[in-house]
Structure 1
């Protein structure tokens, strides 16, 4: 476990831990190992906090196995993405211990017992809204091990990190729950101005200093094929972007911004709620949205994604990706709930109240 998990309260009022187990089979002669079960224990407890069977593990592992196939680990490595929801009213563990059983190619059982890790002592950072008002789908968000955020490992000089562990793609929607404005007949031929979130104000989530920024990159037509990024860096992925240092060693990154809207320079000081730029579709992006993340380094590569809590937001329940385009059952919002000091979970619709 290369990165210690931090406890964070999600928009479901539960406390969650998100972390990864890097599982490597050293010996070729053991043949493929088939994980049967993973148990996670708090401290020295004898009763597991959580138990994941072989079917669960197939949905938690990258590279993912074929559909309906079990996970197998050849000589090499697979990563198990653990989303652990702690029992209500239980004390926060100090450490986690893992017990994993495997079947060998000769149907023998191998046992891994240990892999202890202490929880991070750093509390999640409390931040303000990155956008001004409106409704937003927190797409590809925390808790989704199959998202292109959490599931993307970045290897640089032998160091493997996950910069986007808690990243959000904030997609603007209207009261119908759709991403394009009423009256647009063909989404495939839509213009940027047809998209609800396009041009929205992007705001500083906290006081900070601009550590990196870029403008001048062109926008792409919505929903058109994208070329492979030139590199797994901010310059290769983010298009027009801003990176703020909001605490020592804590960096807020905003990506896919509108060309001509980034007026900041490296070294500029900003205040919480200050306008940074406007939302667009520059960089590696298939549609207008804001990519937002906190990480442990100014650069994308070599950084670890950090958890965060929005100081306040409104929660309107989940929405499926197909419903964004008016497909399937119409989206029906749940009764609005005001949330404080929580992190939106994957595919939840949220709103940011007007700034005071």
Structure 2
């Protein structure tokens, strides 16, 4: 069979890949390293370019308006060092490919806060290293200012240095990777599942890599990011305290047992009840995976999304909901509790692509009626001290937060449950 020009080009690429392997330490004297600072050549006119780093996105981001008035595109970028040499990630840029805008630039401390090599614990030093064949994850929050159209197409640039560059690998490479098209989709609009004022967004989206944002769950042969937009709702009292008594008693948390209501019309897919409350003030030990969400309800929405209401009070769903039941928005489905993987009473609320609270991917959402009261100064952990939280009041022009998504450390208010 006649070898076409395309086949010849593929064969050349395979040969180049073989040479790449040889030049990365198997025969280090084969070629001199290009000088530091040499960018990766662009692939054009059928010319192949060595790209020792590859990258892909974990999802296609759906734009969502946050309580800061900006549009957020939150997702993850997986970066792989395909070479046999150690590499250092030095920069990641997200660009609007049509408007030629830079939406996000991560370098130095900001990159360290948003990048983690696979298998490394938070805070591991050095945080920017990729050993041969290793991958890492970059948590992206590309934002568009209020009043500005969100981009239709995104592009990414990653910059990497190779301190031991040899062969075809330059000392520094900047690559354009992982182009994507932003879908013409909108976040689901929901009724708040809780009522009243003083609710604090713990572990929510988007900029900081909280325990929710960082949670990539390897399940059934795939990695899922079910908690990408998930919120842990806790409530501060009139004195801005989380608790009124001993840290290890659920009765010390005045909001324990408040009603949890359906966020939309839908169908109940599953109900788990009968698990005990965990002890507040400490993380539960040796929980089976099936108990992580504690007592919980999963609801399927008309648009095909799913909502999980997790860590409910034991027995609180009994006589209220059952699998297969149709519910209306505002129907009480349970009460806020501390069951499962929980160290303080809270409602874990997430919207997701499937019915499994772990083996699904998180989706953005907004609440139809919400006020922004302020923002917590300090960490969520400081609330366990029993001291009053320091809340910075929201600017008057941002108080109305209808059709927006709460952001991490926001204090928000909802209409009273009826």
Taking structure 1 as the reference length, what is the TM-score of the superposition? 0.91
Per-residue Cα deviation, 1:114-163 (whole angstroms, up to 9, x for no partner): 31011132210000011122421110111154311110101123311100
Distance in 2, matches of 1:335 and 1:112, equals: 41
Per-residue Cα deviation, 1:20-66 (whole angstroms, up to 9, x for no partner): 001111222xx221111212111244442332213211100124674
The match for 1:10 is: 66
Deviates more, 1:95-104 or 1:153-162: 153-162
SS of 2:111's equivalent in the other structure is helix
Taking structure 2 as the reference length, what is the TM-score of the superposition? 0.78
Q: Of Structure 1 and Structure 2, which has the larger fraction of its residues in helix?
A: 2
Structure 1 position 102, deviation (Å): 0.4
Q: How does 1:1-356 map to 2 (within 5 A)?
A: 1-28=57-84, 31-62=85-116, 63=120, 66=123, 69-74=126-131, 75-106=133-164, 108-181=171-244, 184=245, 187-188=246-247, 190-231=248-289, 235-263=290-318, 264-319=321-376, 320=378, 321=380, 322-323=382-383, 325-327=385-387, 330-331=390-391, 333-334=393-394, 337-355=399-417
SS of 1:147's equivalent in the other structure is coil
Structure 1 position 354, deviation (Å): 2.0
Distance in 1, matches of 2:177 and 2:278, equals: 48
Deviates more, 1:104-113 or 1:316-325: 316-325
Per-residue Cα deviation, 1:248-276 (whole angstroms, up to 9, x for no partner): 42001000001111121110111100100
Structure 1 position 85, deviation (Å): 1.3
Distance in 2, matches of 1:243 and 1:120, equals: 26
Deviates more, 1:38-47 or 1:306-315: 38-47
SS of 1:5's equivalent in the other structure is coil
Per-residue Cα deviation, 1:76-128 (whole angstroms, up to 9, x for no partner): 21110011111343322111001111001326012221310111322100000
Q: Which runs of 5+ in 1 are unaligned?
A: none
Q: Which runs of 5+ in 2 are unaligned?
A: 1-56, 166-170
Per-residue Cα deviation, 1:3-29 (whole angstroms, up to 9, x for no partner): 00111000111111101001111222x
Deviates more, 1:62-71 or 1:206-215: 62-71
The match for 2:54 is: none
SS of 1:58's equivalent in the other structure is helix
Distance in 1, matches of 2:303 and 2:146, equals: 32
Q: Is the 8 A contact 2:155 2:179 kept in 1?
A: yes
Decide whether aligned partners of structure 1 residues 354 and 98 sit closer, same or farther in structure 2, where only a CA change above 3 A counts: same
Distance in 2, matches of 1:145 and 1:45, equals: 26
Q: Is the 8 A contact 2:276 2:339 kept in 1?
A: yes
Q: CA RMSD in A?
A: 2.0
Q: Is the 8 A contact 1:144 1:150 kept in 2?
A: no
